[in-house]
Structure 1
Amino acid sequence: MKYRQLGKSGLLVSELCFGTMSFGAEGYWEVVGGLDQAAAQRLVDIAIDGGINFFDSADVYSHGQSETILGQTLKGKRDKAVVATKVRGRMSGDINDVGLSRRHIIQSCENSLRRLGTDYIDLYIVHSFDFTTPLEETLSALNDLVHQGKVRYLGCSNFFAWQLMKALSISERHHWEKFVSLQAYYSLVARDVEYELVPLCEDQGLGLTPWSPLAGGFLTGKYPRGQEKAQDGRRSREDQNFIQFDQDRAYAILDEVRAIADARGATPAQVSLNYLLRKSAVSSVLIGATKPEQLVDNINTVSWSLTPEEVARLDTASEPPRMYPKWMLDFTRLDRDNPQMML
């Protein structure tokens, strides 16, 4: 296992981050995994033995069960683990028990600390943008948590580029703690983040931590064409199948992934994870598992690297549409690259 800086921060995290969405079994999240304490402990032990020091949870995962179980699995190992959890989602029927208000952030942080059985959170992530609460209120509350020692670093997830840049600007203006990372949906079949968010992360020094790098299991290759609903897993459940991508295009990409995997003696999942690890903006890739063999297979991704030629093949196979203004900016910069071209 190799370790990378989380953005420009001094925090070093493993190239793979173990996501614990599968811990617990309550309501909406039951189908994701439904793992009890014993099953979760086995996976966390495998992750640690494999060199993973980065663990990701959220208060909404099984209404706090994921945090509680993760906290128990890390007993006696907490000081060596980097623990991330999230805030924003609705936690009860209380009208104020949702969002990124000062009230909800402070209350949620206290509850997460209690469930995790710790007195600090390494990386506190706002789970999504809150269109109701002013950013100044959110960022001020997060800054207070850092200065109180309850949180050490701040991150965000599921933001538009303009929202993230505005947040960074506000924090800089007030000399508040800034986001050091962005957790975003990114995979071979969904490279939308490359339009605006990846360049922003590179420019501002944020570490990108892709979620759903296997597109809800699609890039494991376990969903044959035309048989998706017949398989076990999230993509077979319509109420859980919120991860979006062009399915016809995705199968063509998966064909290239399989070809490289077969030639390498690897699995499609390893090729797909390896691809993201070759991207310069990426600090750590989130993986999830419900079975030990899945986790071991994912961890084995870091034992080898795709060649530049293989990355180029996958880049070509998965090239996203050139949306405006990208195609226009590519054209207008030609006069920089070739002084004679526009004369």
Structure 2
Amino acid sequence: MRTRRVGGSGLEVSRLGLGTMTWGGDTGLDAATKLLTSFAEAGGTLVDTAPAYGDGAAEKILGRLMHTVLRRDRFVLATKAGFGLKDGHHRINTSKKALLDDLAGSLRRLHTDHVDLWQVHAWGAAPVEETMAALDVAVSSGMTRYAGVCNYIGWQIGTAAAWQQAVPGRAPLISGQVEYSLLARRAEIEVIPALAHHGMGLFAWSPIGRGVLTGKYRNGTPRDSRGARDHLSWFVEPYLESRSRAVTDAVARAADGLGLSPAQVAMLWVRDAPGVTAPLLGARTAEQLQAYLGLDEVHLPEPIVKALDDVTGGPNQARTAAG
């Protein structure tokens, strides 16, 4: 699998990433083992996790597999901090203490002395200088090689990146992680330009539109889908409306003409979009993941890309400028 540099940093990652949000829940140890093995055999290196995934279960499974199945040094390991469950409620705490406590817990669960990329999971109420100071400590101590942010909007990325760039010796932000797909192109307005301005890479989560762009929901909600599960239906429902159906139909038509699946078309559109370092694939089974692993030499024809742009909101200005 080909690799890409993350922003202006020296870190290189596979241009597809493996997400672990369902690990410890819908994806058990056996399925996770097959996923990680298949991904590594295809040359994949980037694995993204978080303490919030399964309340630490995803990190525990990943840590176990990196000591029993595959070596830790085969992967670019990314995790997060500052977001999780407390007393049954989601909480965001980006104070320095909370972030560093989260990192210490992640390292224990992952059975490693460092991660390659440590990301603030969400913008919080703590002063930006306090949040960023935690990243400085983590990088300077060797607990992480690089630092990034997740789910920040444009002005938040600009504020945090500029703060880190203001004084030599602070840990630069090398990446931002945000939802980006044919059903969620908001990032093109401010997030992607902000990342580009500050020399940061983009990791796109839910590149298949939370599973909707596979086409599986075109005739209802399958029993074995995320949309049919009480704990995940909220995640899928926003994309089960008429506009999303029109986009899904357009992706399906393109797939028919190209001899690809709708999911492959949706992923390729994200993978090769301007500014994207890697889409993060949240496959629940090795069979789902396999469909994306043999596409290194496959690219969508330019007329198809433009048609999909048009049907999902209009031209991508970054693509237009590059052309």
Same fold, TM-score > 0.5, yes or no: yes
Choose which of 294, 304, 316 in structure 2 pairs with 1:300. 294
Alpha-carbon deviation of 1:221?
Answer: 0.6
Q: Aligned AA for 1:21? A: M
Q: Aligned AA for 1:67? A: E
Q: Distance in 2 between matches of 1:133 and 1:308?
A: 44
Q: Does 1:161 align with 2:175?
A: no
Choose which of 260, 271, 278 in structure 1 pairs with 2:254. 260
Gaps of 5+ in 1: 26-32, 327-343
Where in structure 2 are the equivalents of 1:260-279 lying within 5 Å?
260-279=254-273
Choose which of 56, 60, 63 in structure 2 pairs with 1:64. 56
Q: Does 1:83 align with 2:77?
A: yes
Query: What's the % identity of the aligned pairs?
Result: 34
Secondary structure in 2 aligned to 1:294? helix
Q: Distance in 1 between matches of 2:162 and 2:156?
A: 10
Q: Distance in 1 between matches of 2:230 and 2:302?
A: 37
Alpha-carbon deviation of 1:177?
Answer: 0.8
Q: Does 1:215 align with 2:209?
A: yes
Task: Please provide the CA RMSD for this pair.
Answer: 2.1
Q: Is the 8 A contact 2:210 2:235 kept in 1?
A: no
Secondary structure in 2 aligned to 1:302? coil
User: Which has the larger Rg?
Assistant: 1
Q: Distance in 2 between matches of 1:45 and 1:72?
A: 13
- Listed one character per residue, the Cα deviations across residues 99-131 of structure 1 (whole Å, up to 9, x for unaligned) are 11111111111110010010001010111100x
- Listed one character per residue, the Cα deviations across residues 167-218 of structure 1 (whole Å, up to 9, x for unaligned) are 1111112331121111101100110111111111222221111101111110
Where in structure 2 are the equivalents of 1:164-203 lying within 5 Å?
164-175=157-168, 176-203=170-197
Alpha-carbon deviation of 1:287?
Answer: 0.2
In the comparison of the two structures, how many residue pairs are matched?
Answer: 311
Alpha-carbon deviation of 1:231?
Answer: 3.8
Q: Distance in 1 between matches of 2:186 and 2:239?
A: 10
Q: Does 1:309 align with 2:303?
A: yes
Q: Does 1:48 align with 2:37?
A: no
Alpha-carbon deviation of 1:246?
Answer: 7.1
- Listed one character per residue, the Cα deviations across residues 120-149 of structure 1 (whole Å, up to 9, x for unaligned) are 01010111100x200000101110110000
Q: Distance in 2 between matches of 1:94 and 1:261?
A: 41
Where in structure 2 are the equivalents of 1:58-137 lying within 5 Å?
58-75=50-67, 76-93=70-87, 98-130=92-124, 132-137=125-130
Alpha-carbon deviation of 1:94?
Answer: 12
Question: TM-score if structure 1 supplies the norm length?
Answer: 0.86
Alpha-carbon deviation of 1:270?
Answer: 0.3
Secondary structure in 1 aligned to 2:218? coil
Structure-2 residue corresponding to 1:250: 244
Alpha-carbon deviation of 1:321?
Answer: 10
Q: Does 1:9 align with 2:12?
A: no
Secondary structure in 2 aligned to 1:284? strand
Q: Distance in 1 between matches of 2:300 and 2:314?
A: 20
Alpha-carbon deviation of 1:78?
Answer: 0.8
Q: Distance in 2 between matches of 1:299 and 1:22?
A: 19
Q: Does 1:24 align with 2:24?
A: yes
Q: Distance in 2 between matches of 1:103 and 1:166?
A: 21
Q: Aligned AA for 2:110? A: L
- Which stretch shifts more, 201-210 or 149-158? 201-210
Alpha-carbon deviation of 1:247?
Answer: 2.2
Q: Is the 8 A contact 2:255 2:265 kept in 1?
A: yes
Distance 1:287 1:169, change over 3 A: same
Question: TM-score if structure 2 supplies the norm length?
Answer: 0.91
Structure-2 residue corresponding to 1:334: none
Structure-1 residue corresponding to 2:284: 290
Distance 1:152 1:211, change over 3 A: same
Q: Distance in 2 between matches of 1:83 and 1:2?
A: 17
Q: Distance in 1 between matches of 2:187 and 2:216?
A: 25
